[in-house]
């Protein structure tokens, strides 16, 4: 299977299946001298993990990272960094029946059509388990971006089903299992998901991600646009069906006089563009939004076909998320950070000598 790597100068390759012995990644191109140790992966891996609240899959993985290479005496050496996480809580018998059928809305059918063989246990390679390694790789990228440029990447759940935030507070986001920015609504979300679980169904969600402190100049026109690479990276997250940069699809009803972000010497007056103009960062916060479809593995019986070419009815057992968007915030942050780090290195390689060009309109610094 190809296309398991992405990034040009900061290149991440992931490997492994949901119910295999381990998942892992190789991060190639990290500059030498970055201090990193295994304990630093804990926070973001826990933010993404299953089983941390009753509103996600109840699979319990320790997600202990082993650093196999590329780090000596606590510092990156510039050589490939290999990270490994052993799978410990697979329950493959849940997938006994699914091995013979295709879950509607899942990658089961397309993997089968493409390869003629598939690992049905836990969805194999198509499982969201793979996103663990994106988050792990991005711990390195986030740290480097913050230390080197003061960049801060963070996200939040911006919609679940019909519910949107009533108010906004970054501090609230990390204080509830939904990454929801309005604390008063958390009980509403809890009842919503509890009721949804009882029906055996699932629901979609929207996650917003913002990178503050990105300097102007990152991104390469024409075929290496920052927004192009960001859209591709975000779209590669399991279950993502839509990506917006800046105002995204809302731009369809806007006028040019409204959408353009006017410039004053003391700053831009708005950020409809999402911090990217002509594929290059403007110095404004880089903003993106993703839509995740409702989880396809649900308890409500659905029509399908089996391997023998007969009609079949599918009910998915196992420990599935009623809404994959609930724990997608760290994954969206990870993809944003990985793309930004790759482009930071690419900009430095080609244009490192250009330096600061005047006039420079101040961007917003991380708050």
Selected binder of ligand EPS within 15, 24, 26, 57 (CB under 6 A): 57
Least distance CB 122 / ligand EPS (angstroms): 3
Provide the minimum distance between the beta carbon of 25 and ligand EPS in the complex, in angstroms, as a whole number. Answer: 14
Q: How many other CB atoms are found less than 10 A from the CB of residue 168? A: 11
Residue 149 CA to residue 31 CA, distance in Å, equals 14
What tokens does 173 get? 């986001």
Least gap, CB of 259 to ligand EPS (angstroms): 37
Considering only the stretches 8-16, 36-44, 54-62, 246-254, report the one whose residues sit in contact with ligand EPS under the rule CB under 6 A: 54-62
d(CA 325, CA 179): 10
Q: CB of residue 17 vs ligand EPS: minimum separation in angstroms?
A: 10
Which token pair is 81?
A: 């960094």
Supply the minimum distance, in Å, between the C-beta of residue 103 and ligand EPS.
Answer: 9
* Nearer residue to ligand EPS within complex by CB, 21 or 362: 21
Q: Supply angle C-alpha 133, 72, 47, rounded to 5.
A: 30
d(CA 149, CA 334): 17
Q: Tell me: does residue 125 bind ligand EPS (CB under 6 A).
A: no
> At closest approach, how far in Å is the CB of 338 from ligand EPS?
18
- 210: Cβ contacts below 8 Å, ≥ 6 apart: 153, 154, 155, 285, 286, 287, 288
Q: In the bound complex, what is the minimum distance in angstroms from residue 49's beta carbon to ligand EPS?
A: 6
Closest CA to 22 of 14, 13, 11: 14
Closer of 119 and 244 to ligand EPS (Cβ): 119
Q: Interface with ligand EPS includes 185 (CB under 6 A)?
A: no
State the minimum distance, in angstroms, from the CB of residue 92 to ligand EPS: 8
CB-nearer residue toward ligand EPS: 298 or 340: 298
Between CA 343 and CA 200 the distance in angstroms is 42
Which residues between 302 and 321 bind ligand EPS (CB under 6 A)? 318-320
Q: Which is nearer to ligand EPS, 61 or 220 (CB)?
A: 61
Cβ proximity to ligand EPS: between 197 and 272 the closer is: 197
Question: Is 128 an interacting residue with respect to ligand EPS (CB under 6 A)?
Answer: yes
User: At 55, which helix (H) or strand (E)?
Assistant: none
Give the pairing of strands 81-86 and 22-28: antiparallel
- Residue 85 backbone dihedrals phi, psi, to 5 degrees: -130, 125
Q: Please tell me whether residue 157 binds ligand EPS under the rule CB under 6 A.
A: no
Residue 297 or residue 304: which is nearer to ligand EPS going by CB? Answer: 297
Q: How far apart are CA 335 and CA 239, in angstroms?
A: 14
Q: State phi, psi for 243 to the nearest 5 degrees.
A: -135, 135
| String of contacts with ligand EPS for each residue 282-301, x by CB under 6 A | ---------------x----
* Nearer to ligand EPS (CB atom), residue 202 or residue 284: 202
326's CB contacts (< 8 A; 6+ apart) are 55, 56, 157, 160, 177, 178, 179, 193, 205
Q: Which residues bind ligand EPS (CB under 6 A)?
A: 18, 50, 57, 59, 61, 90, 94, 122-123, 127-129, 132, 238, 297, 318-320
């Amino acid at each position: 299977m190809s296309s398991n790597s992405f990034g040009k100068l900061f290149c991440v390759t992931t490997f492994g299946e949901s119910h295999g012995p381990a998942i892992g990644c190789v991060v190639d191109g990290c500059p030498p001298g970055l201090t990193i140790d295994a304990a630093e992966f804990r926070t973001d891996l826990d933010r993404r993990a299953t089983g941390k609240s009753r509103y996600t899959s109840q699979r319990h993985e320790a997600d202990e990272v082993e650093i196999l290479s590329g780090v000596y005496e606590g510092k990156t050496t510039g050589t490939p960094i290999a990270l490994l996480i052993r799978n410990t809580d697979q329950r493959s018998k849940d997938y006994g029946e699914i091995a013979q059928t295709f879950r509607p809305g899942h990658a089961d059918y397309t993997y089968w059509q493409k390869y003629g063989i598939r690992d049905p246990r836990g969805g194999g390679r198509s499982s969201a388990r793979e996103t663990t390694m994106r988050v792990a790789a991005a711990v390195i990228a986030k740290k480097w971006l913050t230390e080197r440029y003061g960049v801060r990447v963070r996200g939040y759940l911006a919609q679940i089903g019909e519910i949107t935030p009533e108010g906004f507070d970054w501090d609230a986001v990390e204080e509830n299992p939904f990454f929801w920015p309005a604390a008063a609504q958390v009980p509403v979300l809890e009842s919503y998901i509890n009721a949804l679980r009882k029906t055996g169904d699932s629901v979609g969600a929207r996650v917003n991600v913002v990178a503050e402190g990105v300097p102007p100049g990152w991104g390469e026109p024409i075929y290496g646009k920052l927004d192009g690479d960001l859209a591709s990276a975000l779209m590669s997250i399991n279950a993502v069906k839509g990506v917006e940069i800046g105002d995204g699809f809302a731009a369809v009803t806007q006028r040019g006089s409204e959408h353009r972000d006017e410039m004053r010497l003391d700053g831009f007056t708005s950020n409809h563009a999402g911090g990217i103009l002509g594929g290059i960062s403007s110095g404004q916060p880089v903003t993106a939004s993703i839509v995740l479809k409702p989880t396809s593995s649900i308890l409500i019986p659905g029509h399908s076909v089996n391997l023998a070419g007969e009609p079949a009815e599918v009910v998915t057992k196992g420990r599935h998320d009623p809404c994959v968007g609930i724990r997608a915030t760290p994954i969206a942050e990870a993809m944003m950070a990985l793309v930004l780090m790759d482009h930071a290195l690419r900009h430095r390689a080609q244009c490192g000598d250009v330096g600061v060009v005047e006039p420079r309109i101040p961007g917003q610094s991380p708050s």
